[in-house]
Amino acid sequence: MTVRRTTDFLVPLAPALLLFVVLAAFVAVDPPTGFTSSSSPFTDEAWDIINARNFVLFGHWSTDDWNLYLLNFPFSVSEAAMFSVAGVGIVQARVISIVATALTVFVLGAGLRSALGRGPALLAAAAFGSAALVLYYGRLAYLEPLVALGVTLGTVGAIRATGPSSGRWGVVSGLALALAIGTKPSALFVSIGLLIGIAVVLGRSSPAARRWLIGAVAAIGLAGLAWLVVLGLEHRLAIGGDLRIWASEPLATTPFGWVRRILGFPFRNDHMLTLAAPLLIGAGVGAELAIRRRQSLTPTVRGLVGGAIGSLLLGYAVLAAVPYRPNRYEVPLLPAMAILTAVAWNLIAHAVGRRWGPQRWRLVGALVIVGLVLPGVVLFAGWMRVTNASLPAIQTEVASIIPPGAAVEGIYAPLFAMKAPAITLVSRPWAGINTGDLYAVRNVRWYIGAKGTRPGWAASHPTEWTARQERLCAPWGLTTVCVWQVP
């Protein structure tokens, strides 16, 4: 029995450890260009962790109007903990995402085993861990890997929705979903879809499922109330500023506008549907088979399928409704796709596996795994082969140039000056973020921006701006970013 339990733990741990090692081996590599139409891979890592960096270097989260820690608090706390132990830097920051991504693979491989079997569970883990979107964003300091982990824990917890301790497991799932929502509030839609899916499938027929739902909703509600009391009410003005930092997501105002936006989603989605094609196909097959054979499924599997389908439907509905759709927004939906892919394999195995014989079935299984895993692995290998690892050295050099306590402005200032004990300001006058003459008001004497750009206050101080000194320039993304010192 002990040997079996050890095996049950080690088998799903293997792909998680393998993914961790692979991503960690390339943790310092810059974001590859051309993967997304958004410029976020070359700015947002620093924007998301700036408050955690401030907390470690200065003892407080905020130094200016940039207060995203209020809306990604679990992420900022984990980053601050990492920086406290290992120092501030982009490599340290990315470790959190790598750990979260590897843990998601482990949760899929270990958590689905009891409901779907070891083979389908490992298939789900491998399919998720090798997805192109996961391999790209899973080693960068983004919010999405931690969101995906929370959503996965919450969804896998639904396996216990029909058991004797369903209420307690509902609380556990609710807390995991609250982690995802606290990291990125848009995860609320995926969470609601999950809960609605389980309610539709099991809510009427299963008192245990109702207890699970009550526990999950109560946990999410109490976590939200705790956030409101501890952070929300006290910092409501700063939260208003954070909402202006986020990308504008205006909804369509006419029926024709809605139709055009929704019908246009398959063609204007930053390639997210193409990049997730192997998982989308697997999820589609799993959903179709599960719906057709729902009467033969156990209540546990029906609840799991209902939750996964619900989260995908509402998640994609939101993506179709909003105008800004960078492909990283799809990452929290990938665990549900992996789960439905595992369901497909489970149902197909029961239907035809024995008839085909073990040797033929193993060959089919190998081909399926190759089809799921190979596209992402090939892309990842190509990225790592041609992309430099320049950012850690840039951050070290900039830290040696900029003196402690200096004020640095620019959209790249939090990234390039991450290791420098300096105040880093991102100015967004149109959103009311760090506005005004920062040269005079905040004593800004350093500017980090793309070559050919200048800060907003340069027109008010033409003599000083003309006398600037270029201290460093480096290729970054599709541009060249420079560090200028102003007298």
Do 479 and 342 share a structural domain?
no
Other residues' Cβ atoms within 10 Å of the Cβ of residue 437: 14
Three-state SS for 322? coil
Do 382 and 405 share a structural domain?
no
Q: Can you read off the two tokens belonging to residue 274?
A: 């193409």
Do 340 and 368 share a structural domain?
yes
Other residues' Cβ atoms within 10 Å of the Cβ of residue 294: 13
pTM exceeding the 0.85 threshold for the entire prediction = yes
Do 42 and 165 share a structural domain?
yes
- Final residue belonging to a domain, choices 386, 408, 434: 386
* Rounded Cα distance, 202 and 457, in Å: 60
The answer, yes or no, to whether residue 426 has pLDDT greater than 90, is yes
Do 436 and 332 share a structural domain?
no
Do 468 and 327 share a structural domain?
no
User: Bridge partners of 473?
Assistant: 482
The pLDDT value recorded for residue 364 is 83
Other residues' Cβ atoms within 10 Å of the Cβ of residue 13: 16
The answer, yes or no, to whether residue 284 has pLDDT greater than 90, is yes
Do 420 and 280 share a structural domain?
no
Place 360 in a pLDDT band, splitting at 50, 70 and 90: confident
* Rounded Cα distance, 344 and 449, in Å: 49
- CA dist 107 to 11, 113, 125, 219, 373, Å? 12, 10, 8, 20, 18
Determine the average pLDDT of the residues in 169-182. Answer: 97
Do 451 and 313 share a structural domain?
no
Would you put residue 117 in left (φ > 0), alpha (ψ -120 to 50) or beta? Answer: left
The pLDDT value recorded for residue 255 is 87
Place 5 in a pLDDT band, splitting at 50, 70 and 90: low
- Look at 110 and 363; give whichever has higher pLDDT: 110
Do 397 and 371 share a structural domain?
no
Three-state SS for 195? helix
Do 423 and 464 share a structural domain?
yes
The pLDDT value recorded for residue 12 is 85
Domain span including residue 472? 391-485
Q: Give the chain's mean pLDDT.
A: 94
* Rounded Cα distance, 295 and 264, in Å: 36
User: Bridge partners of 479?
Assistant: 476
Pick from 260-264, 411-415, 467-471: least confident: 260-264
The answer, yes or no, to whether residue 218 has pLDDT greater than 90, is yes
The pLDDT value recorded for residue 2 is 61
DSSP state, residue 403 = P
Tens of pLDDT, residues 44-90: 999 999 999 999 999 999 999 999 999 999 999 999 999 999 999 99
Determine the average pLDDT of the residues in 425-430. Answer: 93
Pick from 22-36, 210-224, 305-319, 348-362: least confident: 348-362
The answer, yes or no, to whether residue 3 has pLDDT greater than 60, is no
Three-state SS for 481? strand
* Rounded Cα distance, 482 and 399, in Å: 14
Residue given tokens 């109702």 in the structure block: 210
Do 38 and 75 share a structural domain?
yes
- Rg, C-alpha atoms of the chain: 24
- Final residue belonging to a domain, choices 365, 386, 407: 386
The answer, yes or no, to whether residue 91 has pLDDT greater than 60, is yes
Do 312 and 207 share a structural domain?
yes
- Final residue belonging to a domain, choices 325, 355, 386: 386
Tens of pLDDT, residues 262-277: 999 999 999 999 999 9
The answer, yes or no, to whether residue 318 has pLDDT greater than 80, is yes
Tens of pLDDT, residues 107-137: 999 999 999 999 999 999 999 999 999 999 9
Counting the structural domains of the chain, the total is: 2
Q: Can you read off the two tokens belonging to residue 249?
A: 């997501």
Rounded percentage of the chain residues whose pLDDT exceeds 90:
86
Closest by Cα among 190, 158, 169 to 343: 158
